[in-house]
Amino acid sequence: MPQRSRLSTTLSGIAGEYFVAAELSRRGYVASLTLKNSKGIDILASDSNATKSVGIQVKTHQGRGKDWILSQKVETDTASNLFFVFVRLNELEAVEYYVVPREDVSRFAADRHRKYLQTKGRNGQQRKDSSMRKFSDLEGKYLNRWDLLGLD
């Protein structure tokens, strides 16, 4: 297996966005990467007739890790018709895509954070609250679930 150096966070994010756009195009959808001033939306995707569209936020993980890091605002974001596509670059192995409705991400992140705060730290101390949240899909419920976008 060829070795490569770790990408910067910026390059990793850009790679993830292009991988998602390419996968959407491969599946027959229209995918447009947005400019960086588009709040919370990295890609606008539509069916080939442009009659249905969704916004997509891409989160990329370079390695084989199981968690994607999010901010607290994911719990309160009320954007409708928004999806997350979590990309696992898997170093140089096959890329994995987890397509998740925004509401599911929000609910999962809030529940996981609440459970985290309810458990004790290493030395039995109360955990401190933070703005960091995590998402994972250990069961593969959202793996390659492009159908959830509703663009067919």
Q: In this structure, what CATH number is given to the domain that contains residue 137?
A: 3.40.1350.10
30 within domain boundaries: yes
What confidence score (pLDDT) does residue 89 get?
92
Domain that holds residue 119: 9-149
Number of domains in the chain: 1
Between strands 82-88 and 53-61, the pairing is parallel
Residue 56 in this model has a pLDDT that exceeds 80? yes
64 within domain boundaries: yes
Per-residue pLDDT tens digits for 95-115: 999 999 999 999 999 999 999
15 within domain boundaries: yes
- DSSP per residue over 8-60, as a string? PHHHHHHHHHHHHHHHHHHTT-EEEEPPTTSTT-SEEEE-TTSSSEEEEEEEE
Per-residue pLDDT tens digits for 70-98: 999 998 877 789 999 999 998 888 999 99
Which three-class secondary structure state does DSSP give residue 135? strand
The answer to whether 83 and 58 have CB atoms below 8 angstroms apart is: no
